[in-house]
Structure 1
C-alpha cells in the first residue's frame, strides 16, 4: 500500500481520493480479520490535515471525526461497515459517488478497460436536455456502444448535469461533436447500415439489427431531422418501440436505453 509519507505529498483531492480507495481496501481486509491496525490508525490521522480540510466541509469533517472514533472500538464486519462509511463519505465530498458495483481504476475513476465494446455507433440529433444526454451515455457504457456523435445543438457533454446523470460515463464512451453537414459527409465515409429510432417504423422485436451499424436518436420535441431521417430511410429505415399507454412517446433516454439493450442482445 502507499505510504503515509507519500499520501502527504499528494494534491488535496488526489490524497482524499486515494484515501477513499484505501478505506475500501481496509473494509475488505476487516471482513477477513486481516486489517493493518497501525496503518488504519495512521490513515485516520490524516483527517485533520490541510488536504482534508481543503476538500471536506465542516459537517463532513465532523462526520469523519465520529467515524474515526468508532473505528477504535469495532472489529470484523462492523469495522468493515465503518470503513465503507468513510469510503463513501470521502467520495461524496469529492462529488464522485460510484455505485458499489462500478469497476474502478487505481485512481478511483471508472475503468474503461472493463467495457465490452461492439461496433455500434449512436448519433444524437440535437438532444437538448443534459439529463437525457447523460442518461444515454450511461446506457451506452453498459451496452457496448463504440462511439457517440453529437450533432451541434445537443446539450453540452461537459455540462455538470450531463456528467452527473452519466455517472462518469462521459469519460468512458468515445464521442465527437459535429455539425449536421459534417455528420452527413462522415456517413458517406463510414458506410455502415443506418437506422433511426423513430415512430412509424418496424417494431423492435421484428427489427433486424445489423451486427455493425449506426442508430440515430432525435431530439425530444422534433425527433430526427429531415436530412438524417432521409439518410436512414435510404438505408435500414426506422425502428419503433411498441407502446400500450396514454403517452404518444417515451422519454428519449428511456427509448434509447431500450433500443441499445435490444441491439446489444441481438
Structure 2
C-alpha cells in the first residue's frame, strides 16, 4: 500500500488518480470488514492538499469533504458505498471512469493477469457497429476468449465508440484484423473445430461445444459470409439460440454474449 508521505510527493493528477484507486481498494476491503480506518482517515486528510485543490473544483471539493466526514461513521456495505462515491468523484474530476469492481493495476488500467483464458477464439465477420464490436470485446474479456479475429469490413477496434463500449477490454483481449481470404487461410493453419452462430442450427443447450475451437459471428443483416459458413458447416455446423418473441433475431452483441457464456460454462 502506497504511503501517505509518498502520495504527497506525486504530481497533482497522479496523486488524485492513485487516491481514487486506493478508495476503490478500501471499498472492496470494507465489504469484508478488512478496511484500514487509520489509512482511510489519512487519505481523507489529503482532500485539502494542493494536489486535490489543483484538480478539483470548489463544488467537487465540498462534496468530497462531506463524504470524508461520513467515512468514520460507517461500516461494511455503507462504508463501501461511500468509498466508491469518492472513487467515482475523483475519476470524474480527472475526466475518466471505470466499471464497477474492475480489476485494475496501479496505473488504473484493466489488469489482464486477472483473466481466465480458454482455448476459445472468435471470428467477427463484418460487424459494422463499433458499439457491437465493443460490447463483444467486453463479454469476451469476461468469458475467457483467447483471441478475436476481425474480418476486414468490421468497425475499427480503435474507434472511440468501440473502446468506450468495451470499457477498456479492447486492450485486454488479443485481436487481429484479416481479409476474408487471409482469414480462411488462417483457419486452415489453426485446424480447430469451427461453428457459426446462425439461425437453423443446433440449439445452444445441446450444442457440442469444443474445448478448443473457433466461433464465427456474422452481421445481423447478412449473417456469416458464404465462404466462412461453408467452413463451419464442414466442421461443427451452426449454433442457434432459441427465442420466443416477435423479433426474428437478437442483437448480435447480445447473441454473442449468450453464446460465449454457454461455451464458457460447457
TM > 0.5 fold call? yes
Shift of 1:257: 1.0
Cross-structure match for 1:186: 186
8 Å Cα contact 1:110-1:172 kept in structure 2:
yes
Q: Does residue 37 of structure 2 align to residue 35 of structure 1?
A: yes
Change (3 A) 1:25 1:218: closer
Q: Are 2:27 and 1:24 equivalent residues in the alignment?
A: no
Residues 167 and 18 of structure 1, relative CA distance in 2, 3 Å threshold: same
Q: What is the CA deviation profile of residues 2-29 of structure 1, one whole-angstrom value per residue up to 9, with x for unaligned ones?
A: 2445335545543322111222345547
- Could you tell me whether the CA contact under 8 Å between 1:32 and 1:76 is conserved in 2? no
Partner of 1:115: 115
The residue correspondences of 1:166-245 to structure 2 (distance < 5 A) are: 166-245=166-245
The residue aligned with 1:137 is 137
Root-mean-square deviation over aligned CA pairs: 2.7
- State how far apart, in whole Å, the 2-side matches of 1:32 and 1:179 are: 52
Q: Partners in 2 of 1:230 and 1:126 — Cα distance? A: 16
Question: Residue 265 of structure 2 corresponds to which residue in structure 1?
Answer: 265
Aligned residues: 260
TM-score, L = length of structure 1: 0.85
Work out whether residues 30 and 79 of structure 2, in 8 Å CA contact, stay in contact via their aligned partners in 1. no
Moved more, 203-212 or 3-12: 3-12
SS of the equivalent of 1:149 reads strand
TM-fit CA distance, 1:192: 0.7
Distance 1:33 1:167, change over 3 A: closer
| Contact preservation (8 Å) 2:26, 2:35 | no
How has the CA–CA distance of structure 1 residues 118 and 82 changed in structure 2, closer, same or farther, with 3 Å as cutoff?
closer
Q: Which runs of 5+ in 2 are unaligned?
A: none
Runs of 4+ aligned residues of structure 1 deviating over 6 Å after TM superposition are: none
What is the distance in 2 between the residues matched to 1:200 and 1:41?
A: 59
Deviations 1:186-223 (A, max 9, x none): 11111111111111222222321111110110012111
Question: Does the Cα contact within 8 Å between 2:220 and 2:249 map onto a contact in 1?
Answer: no
Long gaps (5+) in structure 1: none
* TM-score (structure 2 length as normaliser): 0.85
